[in-house]
Amino acid sequence: MENDNLYWVFCLALLLVAGLNIFIFLAFKGKKTESMTEVLRRLSKNIHNPWEAEDTALSELSELVTDLKSQDNADQEVEQ
């Protein structure tokens, strides 16, 4: 039983390493014009804040909802 678990852990680790290497290869394959420092800077930025794009989109959505609510409140006050 212990050997079976060790086998699955080894397979998972092997797949993880192979997948990471394939990902790195594909990421650098099409980026011939960027310097290595730019790639590392972008990578460190994405590692530091991986959800930056989603946070920006949610912030914009929040502002739009706030604007709609304030317009709705203003319309209700005018009707009264």
Determine the 3-state secondary structure of 51 from DSSP: coil
Mean pLDDT of 42-52: 86
More confident of the two residues 60 and 44: 60
Residue 41 has pLDDT above 80, yes or no: yes
pLDDT at res. 65: 94
Round to whole Å and give the CA distance between 34 and 31: 6
pLDDT band at 13 (very low <50, low <70, confident <90, very high): very high
Give the per-residue pLDDT at 62: 95
User: Per-residue pLDDT for 1 more than 60?
Assistant: no
Q: Which residue has the tokens 């394959």?
A: 29
Tokens of 48: 């530091």
pTM: 0.44
Residue 31 makes CB contacts below 8 A (sequence gap 6+) with: 39
Q: What are the structural domain ranges in the chain?
A: 1-34
